[in-house]
């Protein structure tokens, strides 16, 4: 099947282009090149996130001795050699005291920066958990307990964020205010669907549209007034009564000196994938970069679009490369091994059975799909027949959420190793047709 082999090579090459476009070193270097940084007296680099060490390394490469100092909270083991910026490991996804210690240092650096200085803020996925700084006297444990209670009630992520930001001394734009009168340039590697500035890393340098009143309304909505730890309750009530300064809102003076720049995101990765696909002779069709939902249903809809392209040349005539981004979820039903991207490929394989000239591809840009060492997998019209020949039943594997052994056996896993970035997933449907 030389046709399918070619599709596989193309898919991998398109995916590589997407990941490359989100490379933290490359994107930070490119962003800093565009900035007129010579006008600042001193530059301090702070930040948090799983890719922030790599971002800081690029900042050092670009700015050298112009960096006066700085502090980065990174996840345990997510390291890069730094000379002028202090690299500090902390716990992720559950924050710990090391994270608090580092966040306090970062807040201190921002407060210390003065007129004519720049605070360069390097934020990547994981920053929310890696930058914990509860407003005193609330402790980290009390803040976490409040979050846990909200999660258990089924509060939405927006509701939870409104509460969390108002319990934080550094999120919700407070870092930008701390840094005044210095300027703030936040470079963001976004792992959030839609790239909302106030959600990426909980928006340390972004205006906050929520209020103490909104935060308290959430607590009341879920009847948690008597359940959350008393210091958290008192703090929210003090805020509500105007006894604590609000998070800075859009239009706040501190944002005159502050900019947030998305240097890497799913959208930029998908753009790069589209360019590469066009280079390889495909009509790129970007569906959306904000796709969430149950993986097997999303895969089914992608397959339905591929089938329509083959049958009627709609929504575009082949050769087409359908591209979508975002991050889907998997409701676990079985005991198998796999990840959302591999499950996407497995569900697509079933939906595409027998259809020639089509390849489905899905992989995480961080190189890790669920608790496996694969980034994702690919599947085409022949996958089910090849699986059956190897004694495997795709439907059974899907029922068991057992996509990893399925694709491992077929040699159709996508293996990249850790890529050093994370801008969610990229899915492709290459359609050459009959």
Q: Give the nearest distance from C-beta 300 to a second copy in angstroms.
A: 4
385 contributes a contact to a second copy by CB under 8 A: no
DSSP string, 96-141: -HHHHHHHHHHHHHHHH--TT-EEEEEE-TTHHHHS--BPTT--HH
The number of beta carbons lying within 10 Å of the beta carbon of residue 105 is 17
Among 35, 101, 246, 308, binds a second copy (CB under 8 A): 308
Q: Considering only residues 5, 395, 415, 418, which one is a binding residue for a second copy as defined by CB under 8 A?
A: 395
Q: In whole angstroms, how close is the CB of 294 to a second copy at the nearest point?
A: 5
290 binds a second copy (CB under 8 A): yes
Instruction: Assess 312 for contact with a second copy (CB under 8 A).
Output: yes
Q: Looking at 188, 291, 424, 428, which residue binds a second copy (CB under 8 A)?
A: 291
Strand ranges, E, within 265-345: 283-291, 320-326
**Euclidean distance between CA atoms 146 and 144, whole angstroms:** 5
Distance CA 87, CA 50 (A): 12
Q: Is 286 an interacting residue with respect to a second copy (CB under 8 A)? A: yes
To the nearest whole angstrom, how small is the minimum distance from the Cβ of residue 175 to a second copy? 27
SS3 call for 23: coil
Cα–Cα distance measured from residue 94 to residue 141, given in angstroms and rounded to the nearest whole number: 11
Are the beta carbons of 405 and 336 closer than 8 angstroms? Answer: yes
Is the Cβ–Cβ distance between 106 and 71 less than 8 Å? yes
Contact mark string toward a second copy, 85..124, x via CB under 8 A: ----------------------------------------
Q: Does 288 bind a second copy (CB under 8 A)?
A: yes
Residues of this chain, 215-274, that bind a second copy according to CB under 8 A? 267
Is residue 356 at the binding interface for a second copy, with CB under 8 A as the rule? no
Q: How far is the CB of 145 from a second copy (least distance, A)?
A: 24
Size of the site for a second copy (CB under 8 A): 28
What is the C-alpha to C-alpha distance for residues 354 and 287, in angstroms, rounded to an integer? Answer: 24
Q: Which of 305, 352, 377, 398 binds a second copy (CB under 8 A)?
A: 305
The stretch near a second copy (CB under 8 A) out of 92-100, 205-213, 306-314, 426-434 is: 306-314
Q: State the sign of the Cα–Cα–Cα–Cα dihedral 147, 149, 151, 156.
A: negative
Stretch that binds a second copy, among 71-79, 117-125, 207-215, 311-319 (CB under 8 A): 311-319
The nearest distance, CB 376 to a second copy, in angstroms, is: 18
Cβ proximity of 175 and 121 under 8 Å: yes
**Which of 230, 315, 334, 418 forms a contact with a second copy (CB under 8 A)?**
315
Q: What is the DSSP string of 362-431?
A: EEETTS--TTSS-SEEEEETTHHHHHHHTT--HHHHHHTT-HHHHHHHHT-EE-----S----EEEEEEE
In this structure, are residues 118 and 68 in contact, taking their beta carbons and an 8 Å threshold?
no
Out of 298, 359, 424, 428, the residue judged to bind a second copy by CB under 8 A? 298
Q: What is the per-residue burial (b if ≥16 Cβ within 10 Å, else e) of 117-131?
A: bbbbbbbbbbbbbbb
Residues 137-196 that bind a second copy (CB under 8 A): 156, 194
Positions in the binding site for a second copy (CB under 8 A): 156, 194, 267, 285-294, 296-298, 300-301, 304-305, 307-308, 311-312, 314-315, 326, 395
């Amino acid at each position: 099947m030389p046709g399918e082999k070619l599709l596989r090579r193309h898919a991998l090459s398109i995916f590589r282009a997407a990941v490359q476009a989100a490379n933290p070193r490359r994107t930070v270097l490119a962003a800093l090149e565009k900035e007129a940084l010579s006008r600042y007296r001193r530059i301090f680099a702070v930040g948090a996130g799983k890719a922030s060490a790599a971002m800081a390394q690029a900042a050092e490469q670009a700015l050298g001795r112009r960096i006066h100092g700085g502090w980065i909270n990174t996840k345990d083991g997510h390291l890069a050699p730094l000379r002028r910026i202090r690299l500090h490991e902390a716990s992720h996804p559950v924050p710990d005291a090391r994270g608090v210690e580092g966040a306090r240092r970062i807040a201190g650096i921002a407060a210390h920066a003065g007129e004519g200085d720049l605070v360069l803020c390097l934020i990547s996925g994981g920053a929310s958990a890696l930058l914990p700084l509860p407003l005193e006297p609330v402790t980290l444990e009390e803040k976490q307990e409040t979050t846990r209670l909200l999660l258990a009630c089924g509060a939405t992520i927006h509701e939870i964020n409104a509460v969390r930001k108002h319990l934080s001394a550094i999120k919700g734009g407070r870092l930008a205010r701390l840094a005044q009168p210095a300027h703030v340039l936040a470079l963001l590697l976004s792992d959030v669907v839609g790239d909302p500035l106030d959600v990426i890393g909980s928006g340390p340098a972004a205006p906050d549209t929520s209020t103490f009143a909104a935060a308290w309304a959430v607590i009341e909505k879920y009847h948690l007034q008597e359940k959350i730890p008393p210091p958290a309750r008192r703090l929210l009530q003090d805020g509500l009564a105007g006894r604590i300064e609000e998070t800075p809102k859009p239009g706040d003076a501190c944002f005159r000196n502050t900019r947030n720049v998305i240097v890497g995101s799913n959208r930029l990765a998908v753009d790069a994938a589209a360019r590469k696909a066009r280079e390889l002779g495909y009509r790129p069709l970007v569906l959306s970069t904000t796709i969430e939902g149950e993986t097997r249903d999303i895969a089914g809809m992608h397959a339905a679009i591929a089938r329509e392209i083959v049958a009627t040349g709609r929504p575009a005539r082949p050769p087409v490369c359908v591209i979508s981004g975002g991050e889907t979820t998997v409701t676990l039903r079985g005991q198998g091994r796999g990840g959302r991207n591999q499950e996407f490929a497995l569900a697509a394989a079933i939906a595409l059975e027998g259809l020639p000239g089509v390849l489905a591809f899905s992989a995480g840009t961080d190189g890790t799909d669920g608790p496996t060492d694969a980034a994702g997998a690919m599947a085409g019209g022949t996958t089910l027949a090849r699986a059956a020949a190897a004694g495997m039943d795709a439907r059974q594997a899907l029922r068991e959420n057992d996509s990893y052994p399925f694709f491992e056996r077929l040699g159709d896993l996508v293996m990249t190793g850790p890529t050093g970035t994370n801008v969610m997933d990229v899915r492709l449907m290459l359609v050459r047709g009959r």
